[in-house]
Amino acid sequence: MRPIADANPRALERLSGLPAARALDEAFSHLAGSPSARLAGLAPDGRLLEAIAARALDGARGAIYTNSEESGILAAFALAAAAARRGGPPLAEGVLALLGGARAPAALARALDGLTVLDPACGGGSLLAAAHWLASRAGARLRLSGLEVAPIAARAATLRLGLLGADAAIRTGNAVSRAWPPCEVILMNPPFLRHESLPPAWKERAARRSGLSRQADLSAHLVQIALRHAPVCGLVLPRALETSRSASPLRADAAARGGHLLSLRSRSAGSFAASVDTSLAVWSEGAAALPAAEATVPLGRLSARELSALARGLGGRRLRVARPAVSSRLPARLLADLCDVRFGMKTGANGFFHLRPLGGGRFRSALGGVVRLDPSDVSPLLSGLRDAVAPEVARVSWVLFRPGSPSPAARAYVRQGEALGVDERATCASRRTWWQVAPGRGAAPVLYPAKVGTRAFAFHNRDGLLEDKKWHALFPREVEPWLLALLLSSTPLRLAVDRGARQLTGAQAIADIDCGVLASIPFPDPGAFAPLEATLRGLHASLARDPVTTDLAAMLGRPAQRELDLAAGAALGMSRAAVERDRRELLRRSAERLERAAQVRQAIARAASTG
């Protein structure tokens, strides 16, 4: 993983005392042939211009710039796909030639010449520069255009593409509200902004234009607009789009109208983005999808021939191609068929609603200080995974302010919250009564963490504790709660959840589980585990109060856990060998997540030390 600033660290250091606009001008003049005394002795390239803009913006509006290696891979696949649509060589042949693995055939140059390419969130121009360079090497000239909301980045892109002699037009504007020029290819690394971070006007315009819900992230809105605007789209996708419920219409639309010719990420180093787990994706209208792949090395180390093989659907020693899962020999259901799966309770202001009991009817509020409340005004709360010591043992240290019939003390606390402006927060203001959290909803019999790491298991909520948004709430219909919790803690089912999780916060070795992902995992048909009930009850007795630790290898090494894994596998029709493979894969995925988190922390520390 390499921050964009690493392109020219010494040059950046020498320009650090200048305003961004002046630094851009001086760097451009130096690169254009008017030597700068400040940059004497250095040989920076055009990436310096983008690095200056990136430093000036410092991640504003979700801007995380694309490094040159990943820009080249994404541009090569997108250009090769577009060339094939225009009568050029097949995808794999085009990728190989564009990446320098073979001489470019004349048919490729003819197919690419005059191709219109747009980046509607172009930043400092990395993707457009990569496309120009690859096409020029093949003997073709592209027509490039870009939109960029930040004027300093738009100027950096203009100067950078000008240095290359590209036919490019960069305009300043918001891609959500401004019309996009016609094009045949879109290359885009969309801003990674959660919907909570969007200004209301942006959110309204984005939802109206994309057709997605207001709960979709900005990247989802922009990707949906892109898929409808151009027949070929090369995209840097946050992995959240693969699983989040708000992006499900986007996924359905993409699958109905075409297929991904590239879906690639690195397992060893993640992507260039320090805080967002991403993949490189190229979608083509009317195309049959090729399998997704994971590299065991940073993407920049993959050779042209390895990537060309991937364009034929083939893997290799350093590229693992995803294959369809083998169906079980026994009938399986989805978890949603057997229970309701809901998001945990979201208060909108934990500092007001989550209280620490002090005894004697006194509670500590992070916002309101020490308050007095009646026992009926609060309910015991399981606030996070660490409060669950074992599958049926909790350490309750919080309560939730959730009065049914509020006491006079509770009404006084509500007035205090209004004086603090809690009622004006978005989640609170959207309720009929701002301080009533999930009215009418009781405690869930089973809880499953909304974030998983090395320590993750389902919790059998025997004591009727309320949960917060760190949990998913499960209300079983056709299976007993103890059995549901037990089977969800088996490795085959836990792995199914883990495969759908996405690592949003790269610096931590945890991954987010969307409610829809949990609801869609395979679960044994009740008839399949009926013959195993006596065995499962014994395993439940062995594991229910056994403390769970972060030592995943030790947890999987417990004899009762291994027996549970085999029983769950048998109920799903899996062989013993298949169950053992699942156990090894869960350990591997956990180790890779830990390794990736360490790498991201190191990258952030390096960026901080040079910035």
Over residues 198-225, the pLDDT tens digits come to 778 888 888 899 999 888 888 999 999 9
Q: Which of 166-170, 192-196, 359-363, 481-485 has the lowest mean pLDDT?
A: 192-196
User: Are 126 and 223 found together in one domain?
Assistant: yes
Let me know whether 242 and 281 are in one domain: yes
Residue 261 and residue 278: Cα distance in Å, rounded? Answer: 16
Q: Take residue 488 and report the two structure tokens written for it.
A: 């969800």
Asked if residue 23 and residue 119 are part of one domain, the reply reads: no
Nearest to 82 by CA among 168, 226, 170, 187: 187
Q: How far apart are CA 432 and CA 434, in angstroms?
A: 6
Domain boundary among 404, 436, 468: 436
What are 471's strand-pairing partners?
A: 449
Span 497-526, pLDDT tens digits = 988 776 555 556 677 788 888 998 999 988
pLDDT score of 105 more than 60: yes
Same domain, 334 and 355: no
> Do 427 and 481 share a domain, yes or no?
no
Reading the block at residue 396, the tokens are: 């309750």
Q: Which of helix, strand or coil describes residue 196?
A: helix
Residues 150 and 196 in one domain: yes
Q: Are both 460 and 596 inside the same structural domain?
A: yes
Query: How many C-beta atoms surround the C-beta of residue 343 within 10 A?
Result: 15
Q: Are residues 564 and 590 in the same domain?
A: yes
| Strands 258-266 vs 116-119: parallel, antiparallel or unpaired | unpaired
pTM score, two decimals? 0.66
For 251-261, the pLDDT digits (tens) are 999 999 999 99
Report the b/e string of 237-265 with b at 16+ CB within 10 A. bbbbbbbbebbbbbbeebeeebbbbbbbb
Which CATH number belongs to the domain containing residue 143 in this structure?
3.40.50.150
Give CA–CA dist 537/180, Å, rounded. 61
Q: Which two tokens stand for residue 42?
A: 């250095």
49 with 177, same domain: the answer is no
Last residue of one domain, picked from the residues 286, 321, 356: 321
Residue 4 has pLDDT above 50, yes or no: no
Residues paired with residue 233 on neighbouring β-strands, in sequence order: 186, 283
Do the strands 398-401 and 378-382 form a parallel or antiparallel pair, or are they unpaired?
Answer: antiparallel
pLDDT digits over 367-426, tens only?
999 999 999 999 999 988 889 999 999 999 999 999 989 999 999 999 999 999 999 998
Higher-confidence residue of 150 and 226: namely 226
Please indicate, yes or no, whether residues 95 and 243 belong to a single structural domain of this protein: yes
Q: What does the pLDDT look like over 336-371, one tens digit per residue?
A: 999 999 989 999 899 999 999 999 999 999 999 999
User: 489: which strand partners?
Assistant: none
Q: Total domain count for the chain? A: 4
Clarify whether residues 431 and 534 are in a common domain: no
Pinpoint the alpha helices (H) of 65-118: 68-85, 91-98, 106-112
Query: What's the CA dihedral at 262, 268, 270, 271 to 10 degrees?
Result: -60
The DSSP annotation for 235-251 comes to EEEEGGGGT-GGGHHHH
Last residue of a domain, one of 411, 436, 461: 436
Verify that 424 and 467 share a domain, yes or no. Answer: no
Orientation of helix 533-543 relative to helix 559-571, angle to 10°: 150
Which residues face 332 on adjacent strands?
524
Full domain range(s) for residue 95: 65-321
Angle at 26 between CA 22 and CA 29, to 5 degrees: 140
CB-CB contact of 207 with 213 (8 Å): yes
